[in-house]
Structure formats: C-alpha cells, structure tokens
C-alpha cells in the first residue's frame, strides 16, 4: 500500500489496529466447532444445545452490531471495541473454567460471546476503518480488515489443536481469553475521522436521527435485497463452521480433517477477500456478489455429493474458503456507495443483523436436523437452495449513490 492509499495517520493507525483486533476476534470464533466433542463428553452438551448456543451468540452478535455501530458513529470506535473485548474475554474464560454446563453454557457461549463479537468483530471494525477512505478505496480497506480476520481463522484452529493436545481444552479457553484482553491495546488506536470531508456525504450529515436514517435505508429496494442476500451468507458460513468437524467424522474421515478444513477456509479466505476488495473498486459489486453465491452452491454441492475423501474435503476448504467472507467488501462497499459513510457502521450493522439471523438458523437447524435424522443432509440441501436464490436477488440492486459524495 502506497502513501496515497492513506489519507492521514489516523486512517493508518485505525486500519492497522482494526486488523489486529479482528484477527483475534474472528480467529477465536472460528474454533468453536472443534470443541463440540469436548463439550459433549465432558459437559453433557448435546448437538442441539451446542448448535443453540452458537445460534444464540450469532443472533445476539447481529442485534448488538448496529447498536454498537450507532454509538461508534457518534462517540468513537475505541470505547465500543474495548467494551466488546471485555465481554468476549469473560465469556471465553468462563467456558474453560467450569461455567460450561446447562444455562451457564448458553449464557457464556451464547450471550457473553455474542455481545462481545457485536463490538469487536469484522462487521463492526471494517465499517469503522472504511470511514477514513474515499469511495475508490473503501472496498480495499474493508478487504484488508476482513483478510486479517481470515488470517486469524487460519491461525487459531491450528493453535487450538496444539493447545488442546498440550494443555487440555479448558486451558485453551483461558489462553484465548488472555489474548483477547491483550487486544485492548491496539483498540485504543481505533478512531473516527477528524473531518467528514474524508468520508464524503456532506449533505444531510447533521441532525439525522437513527430512526430516520434506518427508515430511509429500508425504503431503498437495493438495501432490502442486500439484507436478504447477507442472510444467506450467514446461514452458510455458520452451518459450515459449526458442524463440518462432526460431518466429516460421520463420513468416515479422520478427526484432523475438520481442523484442516477450517484452517484452509481461514487461509484461502484471505485470498478471497483481498481479491474481492480489489475487484470491488473496479467492477459492479452486485455482479461480484451474484457470482460468489453461485459458486458457493457449486462448492457445497460437490462437497456433499462426491464420495467422501480427504482430497474432496480439503478441496472444499480451499474453494469455500475463497468464497467465505469475500462477500463482505462488496456488501459493505454497496452500502457506503449508496448511502455514504456518516452512518455506515449502523447501516452495515443492520445488514449484518440479518446475516446473523441466517447464522442462528444455520447453526441451530444443523444441530436439530442431526439429532432428528442422524445426519446434516437437509441442512446442506437448504444451503444450496438459498445460494441459488441469493444469486438472483442481487441482480436488481441499484448501486447509484442517493447522495452527493465529496471528493478528496
């Protein structure tokens, strides 16, 4: 990245800090599926209960993201992110220290982790970072933040595997909670732009209530379609992250295969989001999203219909990893392109809320289908169908700005 990419030092510090925090928050979150057997054997947590906890934190994550986004837009990002990190660390620490059965399991993995992620994950920090950049660089900025989240998704499953082997799964959660608290240091450098001239959207920057901003956005057909599409994204990635480790074991593959898939998803997610961040600043974002969802359907279909093998499983990790969070730069970019960046954290938070409603259903229905039918087949079929629907609904989106953006 050249000096021209950064409008000022605040933009540089905010982007770098956001990358560090997202690396940890999204990385730790990627590991939860690896602990499902431990929770079942040592804590008596069924697949349905585990799926419910993941679904609950996904939903709470989505509910709190626009709320925290509104506070971040008005009062600055660092305070909000710090609050989120504290909630996240408490929830993770408690899971490894005997508060991991019955209602406590739902409170910690569901409520505490969900609130924490609402303030310190990619959907909060990518919009905070993109506020500092002009329209032609916003998808790139969002791509860098999301890519570091992907790096965490690659690193933390491997770290989990090592720590579980060497120290036990309970101590692994303690280590993770310490790492999360350390992220409070870079969080202090996350700032809002000093001037709205950087973020554009000069007209109507003053005095708009959250309700009016939201009401105006929901009147826009493209915003409503974007919400529906991101619902599909949430359903698919949470279904995969939560239930793939058990799925590949049931198909007769070795235990390490689930860890390998999640690690490959994290690695190739980096390539995917950087590629889409670059392409999103040059080509139609809605067409990129339509293509991404179409190829997701193909990736899932090949994974479940081909005979089970290590090669097909690892190929799924590569292909679905490339498509994993590649939706984020384009989705965030469309919201900023249409509405400007004054309220981007809140508006993208609303889009993300629907992503998390999808996540709730992906995690929960996966567990329910498994306990009812002994497999995840119906969950996979639904994921493919939804992907084809998402392919179509992005096509009518009008990407033209509804307000005049300032130039730098």
Which tokens go with 2? 């050249």
Residue 252 pLDDT > 70 = yes
Instruction: Report CA dihedral (330, 335, 340, 342) to the nearest 10 degrees.
Output: -110
pLDDT of 48: 83
Read off the pLDDT of each residue in 113-134 and give the average, rounded to a whole number.
87
Say which residue, 24 or 348, is predicted with more confidence.
24
Tell me the pLDDT band of 195, cut-offs 50, 70 and 90.
Answer: low
Instruction: Please report, to the nearest 10 degrees, the dihedral formed by the alpha carbons of residues 401, 403, 404, 408 taken in order.
Output: -80
What percentage of the chain reaches a pLDDT higher than 90? 40
Output the pLDDT for position 196.
46
Rounded to whole angstroms, the Cα distance separating 97 from 114 reads: 19
Residue 21's pLDDT is 96
- Quote the CA–CA distance of 206 and 209 in Å, as a whole number: 9
Domain 12-190+207-393 of CATH type 1.20.1250.20 = yes
Question: What pLDDT score does 209 carry?
Answer: 66
Cα 243 from Cα 367, distance rounded (Å): 8
How far is it, in rounded angstroms, from Cα 242 to Cα 262? 10
Per DSSP (E only), the strands in 112-235 are none
Q: Are 293 and 243 in contact (CB under 8 A)?
A: no
CA–CA–CA angle 156, 159, 162 (5° rounding):
155
Describe the crossing of helices 327-339 and 122-130 by its angle, rounded to 10 degrees. Answer: 50
- Mean pLDDT of the region 28-33: 88
Which of the four pLDDT bands, split at 50, 70 and 90, describes residue 108?
very high
- pLDDT for the residue numbered 192: 80
Q: What burial letters (b/e) apply to 325-343, b meaning 16+ CB within 10 Å? A: bbbbbbbbbbbbbbbbbbb
What pLDDT is stored for residue 138 in this prediction? Answer: 76
Tokens of 116: 């924490």
Whole-angstrom distance, CA of residue 99 vs CA of residue 108: 8
Mean pLDDT is lowest, of 73-77, 150-154, 320-324, 390-394, for 73-77
Kindly report which listed range (21-25, 100-104, 136-140, 286-290) carries the lowest average pLDDT score.
136-140
* Average model confidence (pLDDT) across the chain: 86
Per-residue confidence at 204, pLDDT binned at 50, 70, 90?
A: very low
Is residue 61 within 8 Å of residue 237, measured between CB atoms?
Answer: no
Answer whether residue 225 shows pLDDT above 80.
Answer: yes
Q: Model-level pTM?
A: 0.76
Query: In angstroms, how far is CA 105 from the centroid of its own chain?
Result: 22
Specify the pLDDT at position 131. Answer: 81
Q: Is the pLDDT of residue 162 over 70?
A: yes
Q: How confident is the model at residue 208 (pLDDT cuts 50, 70, 90)?
A: low
- For 59-79, write each residue's pLDDT tens digit: 899 889 888 888 887 788 899
Q: Evaluate if residue 344 carries a pLDDT over 60.
A: yes
Counted residue by residue, the chain has a size of 408
Please say whether the beta carbons of 235 and 363 come within 8 A: no
Q: Read off the tokens for 140.
A: 């790139």
**Encoding tokens for residue 244?**
């793939």
What is the percentage of the chain residues whose pLDDT exceeds 70? Answer: 93
Q: How far is CA 216 from CA 166, 220, 222, 229, 345, in A?
A: 54, 7, 12, 19, 15
Q: Which secondary structure element, helix H or strand E, spans residue 222, and what is its range?
A: helix 221-250
> 10: burial class by Cβ within 10 Å (0-12, 13-18, 19+)?
middle
Q: Is the pLDDT of residue 335 over 60?
A: yes
């Amino acid at each position: 990245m050249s000096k021209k990419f950064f409008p000022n030092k605040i933009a540089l510090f905010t982007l770098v800090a956001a990358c560090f925090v997202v690396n940890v928050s999204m990385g730790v979150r990627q590991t939860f599926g690896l602990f499902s057997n431990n929770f079942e054997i040592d804590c008596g947590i069924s697949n349905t209960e585990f799926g419910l906890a993941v679904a609950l934190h996904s939903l709470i994550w989505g509910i709190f993201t626009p709320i925290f986004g509104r506070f971040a837009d008005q009062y600055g990002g660092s305070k909000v992110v710090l609050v989120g990190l504290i909630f996240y660390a408490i929830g993770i620490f408690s899971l490894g220290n005997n508060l991991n059965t019955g209602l406590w399991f739902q409170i910690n993995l569901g409520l505490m982790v969900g609130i924490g992620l609402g303030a310190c994950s990619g959907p909060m920090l990518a919009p905070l970072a993109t506020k500092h950049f002009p329209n032609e660089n916003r998808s790139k900025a969002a791509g860098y933040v999301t890519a570091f989240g992907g790096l965490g998704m690659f690193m933390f499953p491997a770290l989990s595997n090592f720590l579980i082997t060497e120290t036990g799964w309970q101590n692994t959660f303690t280590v993770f909670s310490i790492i999360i608290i350390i992220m409070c240091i870079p969080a202090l450098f996350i700032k809002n732009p000093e001037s709205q001239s950087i973020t554009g959207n000069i007209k109507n920057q003053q005095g708009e209530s959250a309700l009016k901003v939201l009401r105006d956005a929901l009147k826009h057909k493209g915003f409503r379609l974007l919400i529906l599409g991101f619902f599909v994204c949430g359903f698919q990635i949470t279904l995969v992250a939560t239930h793939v480790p058990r799925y590949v074991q049931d198909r007769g593959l070795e235990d390490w295969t689930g860890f390998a898939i999640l690690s490959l998803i994290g690695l190739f997610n980096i390539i995917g989001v950087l590629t889409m961040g670059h392409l999103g600043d040059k080509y139609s974002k809605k067409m990129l999203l339509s293509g991404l969802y179409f190829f997701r359907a193909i990736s899932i279909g090949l994974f479940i219909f081909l005979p089970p093998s290590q090669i097909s499983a690892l190929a799924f990790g590569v292909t679905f990893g490339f498509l994993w969070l590649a939706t984020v730069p384009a989705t965030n970019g469309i919201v900023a392109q249409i509405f400007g960046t004054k309220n981007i954290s809140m508006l993208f938070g609303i889009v993300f809320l629907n992503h998390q409603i999808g996540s709730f259903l992906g995690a929960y229905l996966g567990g329910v289908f498994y306990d009812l039918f002994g497999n995840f087949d119906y969950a996979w079929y639904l994921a493919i169908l939804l992907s084809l629907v998402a392919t179509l609904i992005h096509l009518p989106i009008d990407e033209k700005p509804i307000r005049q953006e300032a130039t730098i």
